[in-house]
Amino acid sequence: MSYLNGVSVFVEAVDAGGFSAAAERLNLSRSAVGKTVAKLEQRLGVRLFHRTTRTQSLTDEGQLFYENCLRALGEIRAGEALLESGKQEIRGRLRLSMPVHFGRQCIMPLLSELLRLHPHLEFDLNFSDRNVDLIEDGFDLAIRSGPLRSDPELMTRKIADQRMIVCASPAYLEANGTPGTIDDLMSHQAILYRRSGQPLAWSFPVKAGQPQAITPPARLRLDDLTSIADAAADGFGIAWLPCWLVGNRIAAGSLVRILADAPALSYGAYVVWPKTQYMPPKLRLLIDTLAARLPAMME
């Protein structure tokens, strides 16, 4: 099992946002974390992190390795949780909060499986794009997307990466042509997502500097992601949407992915729960199941 040496420390360094934070979580020194990652890099023959005196960021090879490690560790932890659940019955209620669309499409199928496997498990679910106060509102766990604010009273774990893709209907592309570059999008009609009254810019990562953000012209601005996908399939313009939302439509041919060679924005999905010294088996089983199963649903 030497191939697993250093993997969990590497994943923790990514999830924590740096060696110092990972060292605090793991109860190790910063130098011990750095040496462990360096030995892993030496064994793999690649550099996993870009290092400066203040920060560490993943290389392209590091990002690829991290995604696979995250999936593998999730499978191991889910297996451990299933073995543990065989020793003691999983029962009781869990209160969860999750984003509306992501929760319905990606989280609910996994919760349904757990309910079938564990007849004494209960879920009390809240679908809202608002960030609830877990402690004040009495939630056991929340699922959140994008950057998280640090909170000493909460624990976090990354469970998946969500990619944004640009797509349009075959009819729209036949009538208006297919954009070949990000800049070409500015001469097309877009369907924009409106949040808090303002249209959300489309963001594309670049190798150096800030992401390239554009807001193409739009006749339609909606605050519902599924309605944006419907409008795009009906030929009203180009949409920028999460891959998990439009994957089935692309497979069916009602939408076509465009700019596939352009860099795609990816943002994390996380579970957040109140800090505690003891994690109930029902909560551990839920978190490990999400971490093991969600990444495959994001592709």
Q: What are the tens digits of pLDDT across the range 37-66?
A: 899 888 888 898 888 766 778 888 888 888
Q: pTM of this prediction?
A: 0.66
Decide if 2-64 and 90-159+269-297 have a common fold.
no
**CA 35/CA 20 separation, integer angstroms:** 13
Class of domain 163-266 as given by CATH: alpha beta
User: What is the number of alpha carbons within 13 Å of residue 117 lying toward its C-beta?
Assistant: 16
What is 2-64's CATH number?
A: 1.10.10.10
Which residues are paired to 270 by β-bridges? 144, 158
**CA 207/CA 271 separation, integer angstroms:** 29
Please state the domain extents for the chain: 2-64, 90-159+269-297, 163-266
What is 90-159+269-297's CATH number?
A: 3.40.190.10
Contact 147, 277 (CB under 8 A): no
Helix (H) or strand (E) holding 232: helix 225-233
φ, ψ of residue 26 in degrees (nearest 5):
-90, -5
What pLDDT shows up at residue 97?
95
Contact 206, 195 (CB under 8 A): no
Q: List, run by run, the mean pLDDT of 10-residue segments along the chain (299 residues).
A: 74 84 85 89 88 78 84 71 63 92 93 93 91 88 85 87 94 96 94 86 78 90 93 96 93 94 86 85 91 85
